[in-house]
Amino acid sequence: MHQSKIAGIGYYVPENIYTNTDLSRFMETSDEWIQERTGIKERRFANRNEETTTTMGIEAAKIAIERAGITARDVDFIVFATLSPDYYFPGCGVLLQREMGMGEIGALDIRNQCSGFVYALSVADQFVKTGMYKNVLVVGSEKHSFAMDFETRSRNVSVIFGDGAGAVVLQPTDEPGKGILSTHLHSDGADAEILAMYYPGSHANKWLKDKPAYPEQELGGLFMTPEILESGAALPYMDGPAVFKKAVVKFPEVIKEALAANHLTEKDIDMLVPHQANLRISQYVQQLLGLNDDQVFNNIQKYGNTTAASVPIALCEAWEAGKIKDGDLVCLAAFGSGFTWASALIRW
């Protein structure tokens, strides 16, 4: 079997910058309050009428494809990770395939939220390793801003997220010890509801007993009423402290799992690229693993949490800045809604 390598990488973020002070115009918050809890200083929001999850993914994909030395027509398969698709269905993969003029190739959409890109990378890795495909495009893209509630009632969630996209092209490599060494995927749905968006969903009422529900009727009944919208029941929900407690356990666990599987230790890591969920989580994991500042890359300060896009955006920025070099050991790790968590170990 072949190993797979990242042959090209790219990212895209919208031009619109919203600082913490900008958000304080819409809700009761402050730059100090947000930075103290998340480390975020600003984030990017897409042009509401012109940019979508797909169009941002395309911009990132164009760069990754060019850097891989191929064309869009050479792509054999697409894996697209997002929690904020253009449509409820179909997924963004086929929209990207259409707009980029690709052949009638397969397109798979991944719904693993913050862990989405690492899951997508693992899926693509299997296709390349088995020889089924030679050029797999992996995209993580998010447009959170269209669904955020910028009122005080939602500030614990809405100040965290931003928009953007990242992409890589995976290709086979015969270089010994190079490329993706292993990937590790996990989930536990026991506490799925502490970080979720219940509507639209056929089981929403069970988790919203204290909220206005859709009327009881023999058929149908799942629709947005003014009462539901006013109550905030249709908005994303997060128990921040509970999520934090789980993340700081599962992040280091899955990183250590990847290292152990390859007979390596924390000291061997040249660059850890964690999902940009919260700077405090990254700092805690860094301290726990005994890594120095040069071994961990964070950019949540500039972009906020871009969920499925955060790992490829950060990975690309680190590489462009010369912080990832040929032969470096790179670890990717993510934890998010589901709960799902994952890691990938790469010899660059």
Distance of CA 139 to the CA centre of its chain: 10
Considering the domain delimited by 3-173, tell me its CATH architecture. Answer: 3-Layer(aba) Sandwich (3.40)
Question: What's the pTM value of the predicted model, to 2 decimals?
Answer: 0.94
* Tens-digit pLDDT string for the chain (348 aa): 789 999 999 999 999 999 999 999 999 999 999 999 999 999 999 998 899 999 999 999 999 999 999 999 999 999 999 999 999 899 999 999 999 999 999 999 999 999 999 999 999 999 999 999 999 999 999 999 988 888 888 888 899 999 999 999 999 999 999 999 999 999 999 998 888 887 766 565 565 555 554 555 555 555 666 666 676 767 788 888 899 899 999 999 999 999 999 999 999 999 999 999 999 999 999 999 999 999 999 999 999 999 999 999 999 999 999 999 999 999 999 999 999 999 999 999
| Residue 132 DSSP SS3 | coil
Please identify which of the residues 20, 278, 305, 331 carries the catalytic annotation. 305
User: Whole-angstrom distance between the N-terminal and C-terminal Cα of the chain?
Assistant: 18
Catalytic residue from among 114, 144, 299, 331: 114
- In angstroms, what CA-CA distances link 136 with 68, 129, 169, 293, 340? 11, 11, 6, 32, 23
> Which of the residues 92, 135, 275, 298 is marked catalytic?
275
Whether the CB-CB separation of 164 and 14 falls below 8 Å is answered with: yes
- Token duo for residue 307: 């969920």
Show the tokens assigned to 318: 């680190």
Question: What DSSP designation does 328 have?
Answer: -
Domains 3-173 and 179-191+238-347 share a fold: yes
278 in active site: no
Between the CA of residue 277 and those of 35, 63, 68, what are the distances in Å? 13, 25, 29
Structure tokens at 159: 């100040």
Is-catalytic flag, 275? yes
The single residue listed with the structure tokens 């061997």 is 268
| The two structure tokens encoding residue 25 | 């115009």
Please give the order of strands across the beta sheet that includes 77-81. 3-12, 164-173, 136-142, 77-81, 106-110
| Domain segments of the chain as ranges | 3-173, 179-191+238-347
Is-catalytic flag, 114?
yes
Find out whether 176 and 325 touch, Cβ atoms under 8 Å: no
179-191+238-347 topology per CATH: Peroxisomal Thiolase; Chain A, domain 1 (3.40.47)
